[in-house]
Each structure stands twice: as structure tokens, then as C-alpha cells.
Amino acid sequence: MRMEHISKRFGDFYANKDVSLDVRKGEVHTLLGENGAGKSTLMNILIGLYQPTEGKIFLKGREVRIESPSQAVKLGIGMVHQHFMLVEAMTVFDNIVLGDKNHKGIFIDKEARKREILALSEKYGLDVQPDRLITEISVGEQQRVEILKALYHGAELLILDEPSAALTDIEVEGLFEIMNKLISEGKSIIFISHKMREVLRISDRITILRAGEVVTTVNRGEYDGQGLANLMIGRELSASQYEKKDSQAETVIELRGAEFNKESKHNGLNGVNLSVRKGEIVGIAGVDGNGQTQLAQLVTGVIRPDQGEVSLKNSKVAVFDPDNFIREGVTHVPEDRNLQGLIGDMTIADNLVLRTTDKAEFSSGGGLFLKKGRIRNYARQMAKKYDIRCTSVEQDVRSLSGGNQQKVILARELEAGPDLLVAAHPTRGLDIGATRFVHDEMIQARDSGVGILLISADFDEILEMSDRILVIFEGQIMGEYSGKNPPIEEISLAMTGK
Amino acid sequence: MNTAFIANLILATVRMAIPLLLISLGELYGQRAGMVNIGLEGLAAIGSLVGFLVSFVTGSNWLGLLCGALAGVAVNMIYAFATVTLCADHTVYGMAINIFAPALASFIYRVYFGSGSELSQITLMRGVAIPGLKNIPFFGDLLFNQTPMVYITVAIVIFTAIFFKRTQAGLNYKAVGEHPRAAATLGISVIRVKYLACVICGALAGIGGAYLTTCYSNTYTEGNVAGRGFIALAAVIFGRWTSGGILLACLFFGFCDALQIRLQVGSFGIPYQFFQMIPYIATIVVLTLIGAKQAGPKANGKPYRREQR
């Protein structure tokens, strides 16, 4: 597969500019780049969702025009999207045969097709259960369903868009095994990621994109992780190494035997004991969907525990109500910034003062009349302090990139002067630069005495940031480890319940 | 209460349920492709008028039903173009059709017949007995001696169940209402399915309306659809987006309608308006009881833009 001089313009903005890329049979070719570097746009062109403004695509030496996704499927190009393209209300089987054009006939011969699917699943070690509903299976299995779906539709070239984002280390190992099997069968893979460790392990060649243009294509081994990162962001960024602290300050929050919906493995908590002191970061490591969401809701007062108690600053909480927790100095960077963190259609300035509109600083009469001018000035200050890149603070928050949206939330939550910051997946979907910024701010907050509960499925982030590490699995805390020289093997095992 | 009363009630239940069922099935095809069309009332109204007019002029009820369907499709294309191509809000355009189409129907009626008080009438479609089955005691005469439209509608229910459950095309169709982007990546043309959905929805709602004037009452009166378009919306939810469920829901609502007419006839000393409320109150009660727990197709009512960043 070869793409030559591809450009894609949205209005005045070039998402891709003169990009050329070639992928050989049986290789893993990595696309490396920050968010907004144009990786997804390029891939969407390849699968026919977007039409390139300029440029040509060749498959096996023949020029092709990919005008629709169905054509891409016919040409043997399959993509596993970062946000899975699975219909949740349907079974695994239904999702795989969806859109199938290789079989003639009006009716679906369930038994015969199931046999085909299972055979294919066996061949590549994908291990899927066709009769389960998508909502019933783990994220790792959903991903295998996506891969199987692409193979079932006859993919020769597979695009994997940030496939490891939602997986544990062990699941990532499994994914790599599958990828190796695929290339040994002569399939080609385009691998999109910005996790250096993985990129260096699995790629045969690496193409680096920055601001919509190709920086260079290198072979594995030509650069180390740091070198690649520097190429990717276009400047030197030294490796981060945060100092780990051992705080003895007072406890801000303590959970004793907290239970919520404990029968549920994926959405419950079962006998959770934990505490966070001022001036420390407690990291909750674990695969997504092991009760993290409920934990975050519990420590911010959104839900009430069925059993057990929660103490804020050594006094037992009686009323579980977010407002009560906010008044006690708990702030929250929620896991889904668009759903829970921001109001997309409101401006940056409005989002920044959402919780503080009743303060005399921003309004008179306890929130009756807003002092728009003051709010705007404050927002400008914040935009500067937190490096929120926008054309105006009156801009809709929806129009910002993910990283800048997260900075808006961080500004709002940290400026409140919290005692406890609950940060759920604070850097999910953020590029290296923005991630670094968020991490720096969190460390700075910790050093000024804020207690931080960091919930993250990104194991590297947990290791890098946490002073203490707790592992959560199926709603239970599996163990506690020091953040200094943590036993990585043991923790990854604990994350799978062993 | 005697057998005759019950027999009449069952007969009327089926007769009342059929137009509702046709309209609801149209909505089912719409919503399965993510098209929440609340303009059913309007589509049925124009179908009803056109069905009547064509039957009146040509003397053929079948031609009336066909033209009613075409009128429904034609009007629904306004909605389709606005919501699918222009990505406009479904509720706004559905409502627009509810306001526009009945007014258009009345306008055409007045232009053609003038504003005289003389009531124009047509001959209703006759019942056809199914040999064999009609000899079943009691029920035979009730259920198997109906107009062909009843049998056709039941056939559509069965076809729909098989289509969505067993066929490749039905699976692809459903995916459009659940996750259009996923459907698109698998080479399903989302736009085409959505337009097709609007054609089917317009046609069935139009036939549902035309049924009222060709098979049910032999004349056209303003407002003869009488909220059936909205009850059909409720029936789709009540029937959990399956054709079998919708059949039961429509029979239930049809029963309420039949009951209220029977009760009006009997003199109970209660103003008849109270009985007229029964079907609508039943709708509200049903929606209240089942409302919150129901989840339809996931991408219902959401616009689909092909090149969205």
C-alpha cells in the first residue's frame, strides 16, 4: 500500500499536507504523532470515510480511488477504531456479520457462519464468544471482536488506532501476540500509538507525523524513545522524573469497608478501605471497568455507599451530596470531560466559573447578576496561567482540543483551592505535551498540600505519579504498594486479580 | 354483557387496531434507522384525504390506498431531506409536517368539494372470508372475515419480524439506527438506508390514513386521524421496537378505542366525552408505567454527518 502526496483540507485548515506513506506486506508500520497531527484524518482517507483534497493511493502497485468505506472493505482494508465501532445492543455474532457482502442470500445461516467465525478466531488466537452481547464482554474482548470483524470482511491491511489505550499490560501482550501472528500470515498492520515502549517493541518501521506533515520514516532501532518523542513534538523534552513523597500530614478522606452494588464485578465496590493524606498522590491502578467509576462517584458524593463509611477530614459523612463534598474542599476531574466535566455549548469563561458564580467576585446578590467583565478578565488570567490555547475566552468550550478542554477543567478544579482532588483518567486521549502539563500541575498541587486520588487505567501514569499505589480489581482493593521502586510485575498481576 | 356485545367488541378492536398498526410499523421502520418521525399524524392525514379522493374519483379503493401511500411518501420527503441531508432537528420537522399536512389535506378537500354541507361518500372495501378458517365457531366469523387490508397488515407484521431478526439486510438496517458510523465503516450506506426508512415510513403512515377513509369510515372529515399518529408513537415504545410487540400494543389501544365507542352507545348517564378520553388516557398511563426503562435504537434522532471531525 502506498499513499502519495495526500492532502486534506477542512476549510482553511490542512489536516494533512503532502503526506506520503508506504506499507509493505507483512510489516507493522507505526504512525506516531501527537493529537491533531493528522493520523486519524489520514486513516479516515484510507478507509474511504474522507476524500483527500489531493493525492493518490496505490494498492499492490495499482492506483485506486477509495470513495466509500464499502470500497475500502472490498479492497481488503480494515480498521479497528480507537472508539470501537460496535453496536452495543447486538451480539458479537451480529456485529461480525454486519454489512457482510461475501455471502449471497437473504437469510443469515447462523450455524455455518458461526463455524467460519470460530475457525478464524482459532487461527489467530482471538478467543471470542459469538453469542454474548457486546455490553457483556470486556474491553479487551471487544477489541478482539473488532479485529476478527475486519478479518472476516477480508482485511489484508489492518489499521489499529491506539489499540492499547484501554488495555492492561497483560492484554497488550496478548494483542502483540495476535499482531505477530497476523504479520506472519502475510497481513500488514498500520499501528497508531504514542506509547513509546510499545512502538519500539512491535514496529518494523515508524513514520512520524507532526502538524499534518510527515517528519520522517525510520526503521526500528534508529532512535530510542526519547529521540522519537523529540521528533514527534518537534522540540527537546527531557524525561520526567517526579520525586516521590511520603506524606505524614492529616488525612483528607478515608473509606472504611465501603460497598456499593457489590455483586457487580464491573460497576461496584466491595469492602474498599483507603485513605488519602494531604500532600500525597494515591494512585488507583486497574483495568477500566473494575469499579473505578463508582469509586470516583463515591468520593465526590455522587453516590452513597450501601455499606461502610466515608470520612472527610476525620469527620464521618452523613449526607452524600456533591455540593456537600465541594464545600468540604473536594474537587473532581471527571473521567469523561465532555459528559461530566464541561458544558460544551458554553464559553470557556462560563465553564471556568461554573461552580463559583455565587461568589461576590463574580456576581452580585449571590449569583443573581453575573459580573461578566470580571469573569472575562478572570478567564483571561486562567487561560494564561494554564496555557489554554484559544482564540478568545468567549469561544465555546466544545471547539477546543481535548488537551485544552482538560486544562479548563484543571484550572477550575485547582483554583478552587481543594484539599482533595479526585482525578479520573486525567490524561486520557491527551498528547505528550498536554499530558506533561497536566502532570506538572498535579505535582505542583501536591507539593502545595493537596491530597490527590489519581484513578487511571494508564499504568505508566500511575507509576510515574503515585506516592502510593492501590490496585483495584472487580471492586476490591487487591493490594497497596509504595510509589518508590514499586514491584511492577506484582502490580500487573494484581490488576488481573492474581 | 352478552356474546353479541363481546363479538362486536373484538370485531371493532381489530378494525381500530389496523390503522394504528400500519402507522406504527411505519414508525418502526423509521426509528430502526434512527429516524424519529413525529410527523405521523400529518402523514396519515394527507394519506387519508388522498385515499378518499382517489377512491371517490376512480371508484377503486385499492387505487385510493396506493395513492394515499404515495402522498405519504411525497410529504415525508420534506422531512427526509431536512433531517438526513441538511441534518436538521427531527422534532422540528416532524412537527412541521403535523401542522402542514392536515392543513393541506383540508385545503384540497375544500377546493375539490367546495364548502357545501353535502357529505360525499364512497363504498367501503368489502370483507373477504378465508375459506376453512372462517368456519371456526365464534372466532371464525370475527377474525377471518375481514377486509384484505387486515390480512395484508398482519402479513407486514410477520414480514417485519423476519426481516429484522433473520436477514442480512435487516441486520444492516438496524445497525444504522444503533451506530451509523459503525455501519458506515462496514460499507453500509447510511444515507440510503435513512431515505429508504423515510419512504417506508411515509408509505405505511399514508396507507394507515387511507385505511380510515377506504376501509373504516366511508367519508373524509377534518381531523379524522384523531391523534392516531401520536398513539402510534406510543405503540412503538410500548412494543419495544419489535413488530410483535407493536401488534400487541396496537390491539390494546384498538381495544380501548373500541370499548369507548361501545360505552358511548350504551347510556350510562355519563357525558360521552369522558368515554372518548379512554384511548388517550390509556396511552398516557402506559407511557408513564413503562417510560423510563425503555431504550430504543441508540442513535435515534441524531443527525449523521459523513465527514465529521
Q: What pLDDT digit, counting tens, does each position of B159-183 carry?
A: 999 999 999 999 999 999 999 989 9
**Whole-complex ipTM:** 0.84
**What is the C-alpha separation between B18 and B254, in angstroms, rounded?**
8
For residue A168, pLDDT over 90 is answered with no
Q: B293 pLDDT exceeds 60?
A: no
Q: How many domains does chain B have?
A: 1
Which H helix or E strand runs over A155?
none
Tens digits of per-residue pLDDT, A14-43?
788 888 888 999 999 999 887 777 888 888
B164 to chain A: nearest residue by CA? A107
Tell me the three cell numbers of residue A431. 498528547
> Which residues of chain B lie closer than 8 angstroms to A152, CB-CB?
none
Which range marks the domain in which residue B28 is found? 7-115+144-290
Q: Which residue, among B168, B188, B305, B309, would best test binding to A if mutated, counting the most A CBs under 10 Å from its CB?
A: B168
Interface test with B, best of A16, A85, A152, A153 (most B CBs within 10 A): A85
pLDDT (average), residues A344-366: 88
In a domain, B206, yes or no: yes
Strand-pair category, B145-146 with B128-129: antiparallel
On average, the pLDDT of chain B sits at: 88
pLDDT digits (tens, 9 = 90+) for B53-96: 999 999 999 999 999 999 999 999 999 999 999 999 999 999 99
> Which among B169, B187, B297 has the least Cβ separation from residue A106?
B169
Position B296 in a domain: no
The pLDDT of residue A433 is 80
Local structure of B248: helix, strand or coil = helix
* Per-residue CA distances from A267 to A295, A320, A423, A472 (Å): 9, 19, 18, 12
* H helix count then E strand count, chain A: 16, 22
* pLDDT tens-digit readout, B105-127: 999 998 988 866 667 788 888 88
Contact at CB, A70 and B189, closer than 8 angstroms: yes
The DSSP result for B53-106, as a single string, is HHHHHH--HHHHHHHHHHHHHHHHHHHHIIIIIS---HHHHHHHHHHHHHHHHH
pLDDT at B161: 96
For residue A297 the three cell numbers come to 462517584
For A171-223, how does the pLDDT look when each residue is reduced to its tens digit (9 = 90+)? 888 899 999 999 998 999 999 887 778 888 889 999 988 888 888 888 888 88
Residues of B with a Cβ under 8 Å from any A Cβ are: 166-169, 171-172, 174-175, 178-179, 181-189, 297-298, 306-307, 309
How many Cβ atoms are within 10 Å of A280's Cβ, its own excluded? 24
B294 falls in which pLDDT band (50, 70, 90)? Answer: low
Residue B125 lies in a domain: no
Q: What is the pLDDT of residue A400?
A: 82
Q: Is B123 contained in some domain?
A: no
The Cα of A345 is separated from the nearest Cα of chain B by a number of Å equal to: 16
- The reported pLDDT for the residue numbered B271 is 83
Q: Which residues of A touch B297 (CB under 8 A)?
A: 89
- Please list the helix, strand and coil fractions of chain A in percent, rounded to the nearest 5, in that order: 35, 25, 40
Q: Does residue B302 sit within a domain?
A: no
CB atoms within 10 A of CB A377: 13
> Considering CB atoms only, which of A10, A69, A88 is closest to B185?
A69
Task: Please report the pLDDT score of residue A238 as a whole number.
Answer: 60
Cβ–Cβ gap A99/B186 under 8 Å: yes
Query: Are B10 and B142 spatial neighbours (Cβ–Cβ below 8 Å)?
Result: yes
What number of CA atoms fall less than 13 Å from residue B210's CA on the CB side?
Answer: 30
Compute the nearest-CA separation of B297 from chain A (Å): 8
pLDDT tens profile A330-342: 999 998 888 888 9
CATH number of A2-233: 3.40.50.300
| pLDDT tens string A57-66 | 998 888 888 8
Gap between the Cα atoms of A125 and B138, Å rounded: 62
Whole-number average pLDDT of chain A:
88
Which residues of chain B does A90 touch, with a Cβ-Cβ cutoff of 8 Å? 171, 174-175, 178
> How buried is A389 (Cβ within 10 angstroms: 0-12 exposed, 13-18 middle, 19+ buried)?
exposed
Q: Is the pLDDT of residue A253 over 70?
A: yes
* SS3 of residue A185 by DSSP: coil
**CATH 3.40.50.300 domain extents, chain A:** 2-233, 251-495
- CA–CA dist B127, A247 (Å, integer): 87
pTM: 0.77
Measure A206 CA to nearest chain B CA, in Å. 25
pLDDT, tens digit, for every residue of A445-496? 999 999 999 999 888 889 889 999 999 998 999 999 998 888 888 888 888 8
Query: Å from B21 to nearest chain A CA?
Result: 25
CA dihedral B243, B189, B197, B287 (to 10 degrees): 60
Q: Please tell me the CATH code under which domain A251-495 is placed.
A: 3.40.50.300
pLDDT at A264 over 90: no
Question: Which chain A positions have a beta carbon within 8 Å of B179's beta carbon?
Answer: 85-88
Does the pLDDT value for residue B309 go beyond 50? no
Q: Quick check: is B307 in a domain?
A: no
CATH number at residue B11: 1.10.3470.10
Asked whether residue B13 is domain-assigned, the answer is yes
At CB < 8 Å, which residues of chain A contact B?
Answer: 10, 47, 49-51, 68-74, 79, 81, 85-90, 94, 97-101, 103, 105-108, 149, 153
